Chain A
Amino acid sequence: MPKKYHIEAKAAAPRHTPIGRHGIVDFNEDCAGACHHCVKKECIYDIYRKEGIFTREMPGELHYLYSCMNCLRCVQNCTRAVVTRTVNPEFRWLGDAYWKPEMLLTTWYQAETGKIPVSGAGYRGPFAGPGFDNMWTDMSEIVRPTRDGIHGREYISTSVDVGAKLTELSFDERGQLAVAPPPVLELPVPFVLGIPHFGDWSPGAYEAFARAAQAIRTLCVIDPGLVTPNLEPYRAALAPAVSGATISRHRDAIAGARLVQLEYDDAFAANVAAIKLIAPGAVVTVRAPIDADSHLLAERLVAAGVESITFAANHHGRSGAFGGGEFIKESFRRIHAHLMAKGVRDTVTLIASGGIALAEHMAKAIICGADLVVVDIPFLIALECRMCMNCTLGRPCPVDVAGTPPEHGARRITNLASAWHSQLLEVLGAMGLREVRRLRGEYGRAMFQEDLERETFQALFAGKRAKGQ
């Protein structure tokens, strides 16, 4: 058994007070003053006392709104009923329609602690929703054993291979391999880091990404034009993203790379050949925007010998620039099924990019047919980004992402990756799968809402009259 892959997590506190969901408000003018019920008795989490220390000594940032556990004891037992709770308006402003405030909160928590978010009292979200929220992963029971990977009792592999695989081997008369296997890159986790299209970037922030990629032993896909000398020590963890026009300019970056991302254009075959000339051992992934014809493009690229394709959706996981278009989940199911039908699926590695916001999205994208995913914005959120988009308007970043010390930033990114890795193990363990490679395209280990609705409610109720009141 190989040594178990493990991502080390170590607590890394935020540099700025994160935005919490709720705020406790008290109307001091009616406060009884001396009862101190809230401080001494009611707050079992000791937040009121810490607030007192803060107001007296001003030791640093006040993590007050962030750390309230919402038990409402102070509200319900205040002797004068002057304490109340409200939703923090800033919380509502976080993120956007896809990147929900709760996603930012849970990502911050994971980046800080490296732990899996755990809570009680059942699931509290909507029944289902758009995007990845209308599919469920399967679990095994009685007749199909699960895997006990979470507590380390059984080994579950999260490694994936990037590159083309031969469909068969051939040997010469001396029994020697007669074909040259194409280069294959093995990554211990089914994701690579990407650089989001927005952000308050600085060489330090890029360095945090590169350092983290190295620590996780995966890669960071980055435009070589952004690589500054401080990223040199992490060069092995960088995957240059180039286009046909920039290949010659970035010869040095390509030369040492294990994975090169090439922007798709009509001359892709010649461009791939040019890259292979510089770096014969590198895997080249051709990146194309995802659209309704992606499955046909995939077929064409595979026929031309492309060993990996990155299909990129926008940051809401949809094709098309402004939110519309098909969701990446549907697109990948179609692409995967098409390549399966053509019998060429295993000769290419598919990478999904765009809209991967939570650990479950990684697993679900893989179920839908991707081999691995590009994770970009969550790692920027790990650097405390609030998705306010000030950076795109030329305004200052409220949390100064650019000023993040690289080591600290890398720590938070690594923590998030560690939590995602653990959650992937949970999902795989529950499904009874021993490795993430077997998850790819495993529709049978997933349940899609449209199928369940059709089989149950539609079958039971469609066309039936609602009588009575």
Chain B
Amino acid sequence: MSTQAAITAKITRRPKATVTRFRNAIGKYKVVRTDRCTGCGLCAKLCPHGVHVRYEGYSRTTRPKDHLCRGTWCKENCDYYCIDKCPAGALSMGLNPVYESMGDPRWTPDMILSTWDQAENGRITNETLEPHLGASGGGFDKLRLNFPKEPALKLKPSEVDTHLSLNRRGSGPKVVIDVPWYGGGMSYGSVSPATMVGKAHACMVWNSFTCTGEGGYPPHLYPYDDHVITQVATGLFGVREETIQRVRIVEFKYAQGAKPGLGGHLLGDKNTPAVARMREAVAGTSLFSPFPFHSVYSIEDHKKHVDWVLAMNPKALVSAKVSTPNDVDMVAVGSYYAGVHIVHLDGSYGGTGAAPDIAKKNIAMPIEYAIPKVHQFLVNEGIRDKVTLIASGGLRNVHDLVKAICLGANGAVIGTAEMVALECIRCGACESGRGCARGIATTDPELSLQFDYEWAARRITNLYSSWHAQLVDILVRFGIRSVSELVGRTDLLHHVDYSE
């Protein structure tokens, strides 16, 4: 643990460049240098982005680092466009075919590359990529932030408050996080130990929380106890009195947005002996969580659950993670009256390690509809001030986060963005065979060693730093002093279909 303490001291909120772990980074453009190159080195002198490098004492420039290339943006905006300037005409540039084959309407290639950029540098360095909007043609992608030309209140970044209080009931422990988001539940078994600890570490640095998911509380999370939410889900895998008592927040997972109405499942190949031990199961067998909690068929049953946890750990906050059915507003109100502190809505387009495609696409409503529905219902019920409403399921970037808060959430849970920070390519093969080929969502002893937790912690910390800076900037542009004043401010948004 001493090395861990040393690393803990090293990682701060200040961004630190943490480059890709792969030999060839992927960029939007592909730059090709042909044999006509005379090695004059002009391109290396011209390019401020570091695409062309010629080391001292070498007669040739290195292979172009084309992931740093700004492409045609240079041609239009700058006088150092290398393709035109090369005296030998040896350079050519075009869209990278890999870029064209990446991503999907929800996570566009631009958004993936921009998230990588932020995880690498702790800020947006490549402004030619669109980091905020996807191409899904609905929901967040049709909402825009309505910045005033001049904010009514001129604020300095240091005057802006991004804290989020997770207990608004007026009694019980105060739990305040420094940023209005925390990490989503990813179980021991679904993701690699380095991923899990990296997430936890970043959450500690930013005084937020990570979640164990359903699958037990592995010892390597013990140093992060104060920043861990432990999950109680329908399979009760790895749930023990001791794990409940470790933490400051316990989350009941009633449903998961990506597979609402269906239980979780960990396929046999990912159930390694270590995972099986943690889950008190037999290694190599597929582990299915039933659905629903067979002990909960009413709000009264749900209250028994909450009381059970609070009896074991009176200092804990309780969160209910629910999906977004038609009557999600009733579920939220019922959950509150049963005594939970946090109502966590998980929308249907969220990420997961494995879910039937039919469920991901079709079951339950997208989070964009659920947030205002629940917010308004809680307002009408007169209890909005007492509930911490957390949204998740398809929030990909800071703008999505701000839009969710303006629609009525207090904060958000993110998951996929963290995975993309670790260079997830969204190939979707998390569940197959030994698991993720890129070492993120796998427990395979070989595959999971592709990166260490320090690298993971730095990448996610960098992403958080970038998000925080952008959030502060957004608040300054709005002239709003704190995140809590953003809640329900739909006047700060406009919708491309309906607003005039």
The chain A residues found within 8 Å of chain B, CB to CB, are: 22, 25, 44-45, 69-73, 75-79, 81, 84-87, 106, 116-129, 136-146, 148, 150-151, 153, 358-360, 363-364, 423, 426-427, 429-432, 444-445, 447, 452-453, 455-458, 460-469
Contact = CB atoms under 8 A, between A and B. Distances in A.
28 contacts: A71-B436, A72-B425, A72-B438, A73-B437, A85-B98, A87-B101, A117-B357, A119-B429, A120-B354, A121-B351, A121-B352, A122-B106, A123-B106, A123-B348, A126-B105, A127-B366, A128-B138, A139-B260, A139-B364, A141-B255, A141-B260, A142-B297, A143-B299, A145-B292, A148-B290, A359-B358, A444-B326, A461-B494
B40 interface: no
B57 interface: no
B494 A71 contact: no
A151 B288 contact: yes
Interface residues of B, number: 107
B322 interface: yes
**Which of B362, B363, B368, B438 counts the most A-chain CB atoms under 10 A from its CB?**
B362
B500 A142 contact: no
Interface in B140-188: 141-142, 144, 146-149
Across the A-B interface, give the 5 residue pairs with the lowest CB-CB distance, nearest first: A430-B261, A127-B138, A120-B430, A71-B437, A122-B351
Contacts of B101: 22, 85-87
Nearest to B252: A142
Given A76-B22, A122-B360, A457-B498, A81 B299 contact: no
A121 B428 contact: yes
Interface string B237-274: 00000000000000000110010111100000000000
**Binding site of A, secondary structure by majority: helix, strand, loop or mixed?**
loop
Interface string B389-416: 0000010000000000000000000001
B21 to A, nearest CB: 9
Interface string B293-310: 000111101100000000
Interface in B58-75: 63
B67 to A, nearest CB: 10
A78 B437 contact: no
Interface stretch (B2-10, B82-90, B202-210, B328-336): B328-336
A136 B328 CA distance: 14
A114 to B, nearest CB: 14
A365 B138 CA distance: 23
Contact of A141 (B288, B323, B351, B352): B323
A51 B425 CA distance: 24
B497 interface: yes
Nearest to A135: B362
A447 B495 CA distance: 21
A463 to B, nearest CB: 6
Contacts of B416: 121-122
Contacts of A462: 498-499
Contacts of A44: 434, 437, 447
A460 B394 contact: no
A151 B356 CA distance: 14
Given A136-B362, A452-B365, A120 B148 contact: no
B331 A120 contact: no
B381 interface: no
Contacts of A461: 490, 493-495, 497-499
Contact of A120 (B20, B139, B288, B353): B353
Contact of A151 (B255, B290, B352, B369): B290
Contacts of B354: 118-120
A119 B357 contact: yes
Contacts of B434: 44
B298 A143 contact: yes
Nearest to A134: B138
Contacts of A455: 369, 373
A466 B301 CA distance: 46
A93 B258 CA distance: 30
Contacts of A128: 137-138
A423 B288 CA distance: 17
Contacts of A118: 354-357, 431
Interface stretch (B23-31, B42-50, B455-463, B464-472): B23-31
Contacts of B433: 45
Interface of B: 20, 22-26, 30, 63, 96-98, 100-101, 104-107, 135-139, 141-142, 144, 146-149, 254-255, 258, 260-263, 288, 290-292, 296-299, 301-302, 322-323, 325-328, 330-331, 334-335, 348-366, 368-369, 372-373, 394, 416, 419, 424-434, 436-438, 441, 447, 490-491, 493-495, 497-500
Given A118-B356, A148-B291, A125 B105 contact: yes
**Which of B139, B255, B261, B429 counts the most A-chain CB atoms under 10 A from its CB?**
B261
Nearest to A71: B437
A142 B104 contact: no
A120 to B, nearest CB: 3
Contacts of A117: 356-358
Given A116-B356, A119-B355, A120-B430, A464 B23 contact: no
**Binding site of B, secondary structure by majority: helix, strand, loop or mixed?**
loop
Contacts of A360: 358, 361-362
A119 B428 contact: yes
A100 to B, nearest CB: 12
A462 B262 CA distance: 36
A468 B148 contact: yes
Nearest to A44: B437
Contact of A123 (B100, B361, B497): B361
A126 B137 CA distance: 6
Contact of A127 (B141, B296, B330, B431): B141
Contacts of B372: 456, 460
Contacts of B25: 76
A86 B99 CA distance: 8
A409 B30 CA distance: 45
Contact of A72 (B26, B100, B136, B335): B26
Nearest to A78: B24
Given A139-B364, A464-B498, 9 more contacts: A72-B425, A84-B30, A119-B429, A123-B361, A127-B141, A138-B325, A144-B327, A427-B363, A464-B494
Contacts of B425: 70-72
Contact of B292 (A22, A70, A124, A141): A141
B195 to A, nearest CB: 13
Nearest to B351: A122
A423 B262 CA distance: 11
Contact of A71 (B100, B141, B357, B429): B429
A429 B426 CA distance: 28
A457 B368 CA distance: 9
B394 A122 contact: yes
A143 B430 CA distance: 32
A124 B428 CA distance: 9
Contact of A124 (B107, B302, B353, B432): B107
Contacts of A468: 146-149
A84 B429 CA distance: 19
Nearest to A124: B104
Nearest to B349: A123
B98 A142 contact: no
**Which of A87, A124, A150 counts the most B-chain CB atoms under 10 A from its CB?**
A124
Given A119-B431, A360-B361, A460 B500 contact: no
Contact of A146 (B96, B291, B499): B291
A416 B23 CA distance: 42
B325 A464 contact: no
A142 B298 CA distance: 6
A461 B351 CA distance: 28
A124 B260 contact: no
B462 to A, nearest CB: 20
Given A69-B429, A86-B100, A143-B327, A76 B290 contact: no
A416 B315 CA distance: 52
Contacts of B139: 127
A32 to B, nearest CB: 12
